Amino acid sequence: MARILLTGATGLIGGAVLHHALGRDDDTTWVCLVRCAGVEQGRQRIAARLERFTDPFTAQRLARKIEIVPGDFTSADRDMDPRLDGCTHILHLAADTSWWGGERVFKTNHDGTLALARRAQSMPDLQRFLHVGTAMICGADAPSLVEETAYPAADARHIVGYTESKAATETSLSEQFPDLPIIVARPSIVVGHSTLGAAPSSSILWVLRAADALRMLPCSPESCVDIVPADWVAETLAGLLMKPDLKHRLYHLSSGATGRTRWADVIAAFEKAEPTDGIRAFRQFDLDRDRAHLRKRFAEVFGLKDASTRAMLLATRAYYAFCALDLSFANERLIAEGFAPAPSIASYLQVCLANSASIVEQFVDDIEMFAPAPVTTSSPADLPLAAIA
């Protein structure tokens, strides 16, 4: 019988994983390491996340199936709770996703994951340690189609410290823990839910909506964007965690070369969901040269009178920097393992828009990602993006 240790249970993908897994009647035990004052508080934190996927009664019922271990993965190597000893699988989702968090992000994502790996070494029945990173560890100079084996790379030019921390973590896990059964999964851009739309989270969805409202792109409409829904990511992670034999040690969870979506397809999906004149013309602009025009247009559409909209402008510029890269992530490995391709964002965008709040309200789901680093710390990887903001 599987006994799975899950970190990051209160996040979007963690909630999607639990919603997917707990509805199945099997002998799997889910052990969630949760930052909380006690077991019941931790259970209620998870139930609150599950409520985004289902009704409150069902969320409470599902949360009762979980073993809660109060704690923090960043100090797991000092956590001698015996409930961790018998775990057969680890799904490590927890991370600090702040873009400008400085040293804190590196300490959490890199040092914290190594602490969890050290704790994993004392789990005698451990069969798999599934570490979830990000496909964006490729940096800003990657080719348009990114292969798994090309990264992490020492010469990658990271736009934000978050991706740098994730790249360093993969390198350190490989070098320092060759004895652990580590598999790395790198999702691309996770947006929405293919059937629940924006209900589980509006993270990054607001960016697509803002671009549509601004009618501005820092790239050609023929450029591609590699987007996958949270429920597909959750189901695929669960499959990778439990599949007895895997041919590789790392996988992209992405739409891949054959499933990638052009911005033109996203624009067409917006037009279908919210018809205008049938054309929906976008202006292509240069992110550096046309900074003033973007700010002016943003003020026209959203205003710049309060802290939330000013933060949103900053975040929009940041995400536009990634949009301009025109990246897709190869997924042949995943498909060869028998996993289903991801649904295209164009196929479920209308579902997302149907239960969306305003764009500014949706931005709140991501606002913590753009909190500045403390003034006493800095990271070189934070500078390029700070400069364009």
pLDDT in tens, 149-166: 999 999 999 999 999 999
**pLDDT tops 70 at residue 327:** yes
Q: Kindly state the average pLDDT of the residues 293-307.
A: 95
**pLDDT tops 70 at residue 388:** no
Among candidates 64, 260, 231, 277, which has minimal Cα distance to 145?
A: 260
Residue type, 286: D
Q: Kindly state the average pLDDT of the residues 14-37.
A: 94
> Can you say whether residue 207 is alpha, beta or left, with left for phi > 0 and alpha for psi between -120 and 50 degrees?
alpha
Omega of the bond prior to 152 within 30 degrees of 0, cis? Answer: yes
- Residue 382 confidence (pLDDT): 30
Q: Where are the alpha helices (DSSP H) in the chain?
A: 12-22, 39-50, 56-63, 103-106, 112-120, 161-176, 205-214, 230-242, 256-259, 263-273, 291-302, 307-323, 332-336, 345-354, 359-363, 383-388
> What percentage of the chain reaches a pLDDT higher than 90?
88
- Residue 375 confidence (pLDDT): 43
Q: Kindly state the average pLDDT of the residues 157-186.
A: 97
Provide the mean pLDDT of the chain: 93
The three-class DSSP label of residue 26 is: coil
Tokens 């990657």 correspond to what residue?
142
**pLDDT tops 90 at residue 377:** no
pLDDT tens sequence across 81-119? 999 999 999 999 999 999 877 899 999 999 999 999 999
> Can you say whether residue 71 is alpha, beta or left, with left for phi > 0 and alpha for psi between -120 and 50 degrees?
left
Could you tell me whether strands 224-225 and 261-262 are parallel, antiparallel, or unpaired per DSSP bridges?
A: antiparallel
Query: Band of the pLDDT at 373, cuts 50, 70, 90?
Result: low
- Domains in the chain (CATH in brackets) are 3-196+224-259 (3.40.50.720), 261-326+345-388 (no CATH)
Q: Kindly state the average pLDDT of the residues 57-61.
A: 97
Q: Kindly state the average pLDDT of the residues 370-384.
A: 44
**How many other C-beta atoms can be found within 10 angstroms of the C-beta atom of residue 179?**
8
**pLDDT tops 50 at residue 387:** no
- Residue 81 confidence (pLDDT): 95
- Residue 116 confidence (pLDDT): 98
Q: Kindly state the average pLDDT of the residues 139-155.
A: 96
CA trace torsion 334, 237, 73, 372 (10° rounding)? 80
CA 191 to chain centroid: 8
Q: Kindly state the average pLDDT of the residues 175-189.
A: 98
Low-confidence winner among 71-80, 168-177, 291-300, 368-377 (lowest mean pLDDT): 368-377
**pLDDT tops 50 at residue 336:** yes
Residues 205 and 352: beta-carbon distance below 8 Å: yes
Rounded to the nearest 5°, which phi and psi values hold at 161? -65, -25
Q: Kindly state the average pLDDT of the residues 368-382.
A: 51
Query: Band of the pLDDT at 365, cuts 50, 70, 90?
Result: confident
- Residue 378 confidence (pLDDT): 34
**pLDDT tops 80 at residue 389:** no
Q: Which positions ≥6 away from 302 have C-beta within 8 Å?
A: 210, 213, 309, 312, 313, 359, 360
> What percentage of the chain reaches a pLDDT higher than 70?
95
pLDDT tens sequence across 194-247? 999 999 999 999 999 999 999 999 999 999 999 999 999 999 999 999 999 999
Tokens 């900053």 correspond to what residue?
314
